[in-house]
């Protein structure tokens, strides 16, 4: 049985593209709640305790910040809860902020799982034949972010031993200087390594080879149908959720069917990975 981790890169990429677009496209609170639960389950399956720490320390505070700030600046809506600094605090703006926060939280979790499954090797395998230079640059930039974060934590830990706590500005300056130096040195080392290995001097090859099988086709078809169907129905006004001036939902039963299909596709992929992990532990 092929799971999402061992499927063709095209299948995994299309799957995550579909769930991310659907998460951002649909503001229905029920849909966002389903997406949040599924994205959290997927992140925990792929990251374990690291995903849980990412969820509580990074994703949740950012989502709460969005949910709390929105009602302070968005005063639209007909249901006034109270007045704050002579400005109305409406129920519609609170719910809109909550839906926006859940959307950002779900998107962050989907990106976390994407980074775990669609590795740089798969990304280059998928896009190098189409746009080799752009794919290489994007992959290098994406890999630089976690490397830079890890290096920053290491430098910060070392510098705290030499700089007094009262001189935080000096500590930040030292860390920034060290990071800039490290980035430049890493860029030179990477360029020299690529040149020594003959990058761009011949036909591009890949170290890994993937086979597009029936399970890949089924996942691609399900993701594409769900994505295209939701986009068409939303653009046509058949389904949707409006917060202003008052709460209203269009095509509730259609949205329910789409949410059920969305959950079925994600649960099928998640069940495959859980089954694979259980089999590995039983060996």
Q: Is residue 278 very low, low, confident or very high in pLDDT (cuts 50, 70, 90)?
A: confident
Is the pLDDT reported for residue 164 higher than 60?
yes
Q: What is the pLDDT of residue 190?
A: 78
Nearest-5° Cα angle at 80, 256 to 23? 30
Residue 215, both tokens: 């399970």
Whole-model pTM: value is 0.76
Distance in angstroms (rounded) separating the CA atoms of residues 78 and 13 = 42
Q: What does the pLDDT look like over 176-232, one tens digit per residue?
A: 888 888 888 887 887 788 778 776 666 666 666 778 888 888 888 988 888 888 888
* Confidence label for 235 from pLDDT (cuts 50, 70 and 90): confident
pLDDT (mean) for 57-71:
80
Confidence class for position 160, pLDDT limits 50, 70, 90: confident
Q: Residue 277 to residues 39, 80, 214, 272, 274: CA-CA distances in angstroms? A: 18, 50, 22, 9, 5
pLDDT score recorded for residue 69 = 83
pLDDT at position 204: 66
What's the pLDDT tens digit per position in 106-118? Answer: 888 898 888 888 8
pLDDT at 169 over 80: yes
**Average pLDDT of the residues of the chain:** 81
Q: Evaluate if residue 250 carries a pLDDT over 70.
A: yes
270 confidence band (pLDDT: 50, 70, 90): confident
Q: What is the DSSP string of 95-157?
A: HHHHHHHHHHHHHHHHHHHHHHHS-HHHHHHHHTTT-HHHHHHHHHHHHHHHHHHHHHHHHHH
pLDDT value for 205:
65
Residue 200: per-residue pLDDT: 66
């Amino acid at each position: 049985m092929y799971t999402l981790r061992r499927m063709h890169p095209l299948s995994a990429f299309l799957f995550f593209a579909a769930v991310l677009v659907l998460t951002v496209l649909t503001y229905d609170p029920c849909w966002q709640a389903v997406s949040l639960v599924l994205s959290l389950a997927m992140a925990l399956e792929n990251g374990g305790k690291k995903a849980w720490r990412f969820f509580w320390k990074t994703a949740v505070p950012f989502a709460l910040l969005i949910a709390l700030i929105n009602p302070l600046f968005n005063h639209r809506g007909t249901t006034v809860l109270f007045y704050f600094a002579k400005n109305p605090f409406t129920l519609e703006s609170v719910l809109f902020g909550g839906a926006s926060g859940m959307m950002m939280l779900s998107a962050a979790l989907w990106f976390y799982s994407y980074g775990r499954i669609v590795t740089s090797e798969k990304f280059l395998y998928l896009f190098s034949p189409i746009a080799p230079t752009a794919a290489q640059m994007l992959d290098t930039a994406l890999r630089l972010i976690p490397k830079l974060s890890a290096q920053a934590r290491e430098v910060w830990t070392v510098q705290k031993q030499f700089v007094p706590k009262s001189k935080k500005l000096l500590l930040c300056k030292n860390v920034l200087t060290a990071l800039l130096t490290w980035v430049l040195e890493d860029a030179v080392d990477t360029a020299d390594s690529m040149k020594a290995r003959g990058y761009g001097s011949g036909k591009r090859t890949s170290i890994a080879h993937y086979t597009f099988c029936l399970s890949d086709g089924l996942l691609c078809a399900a993701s594409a149908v769900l994505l295209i169907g939701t986009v068409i129905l939303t653009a046509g006004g058949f389904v949707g959720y409006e917060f202003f001036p008052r709460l209203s939902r269009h095509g509730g039963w259609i949205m329910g069917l789409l949410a059920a299909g969305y959950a079925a596709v994600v649960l099928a992929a998640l069940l495959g990975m859980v089954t694979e992990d259980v089999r590995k532990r039983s060996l």
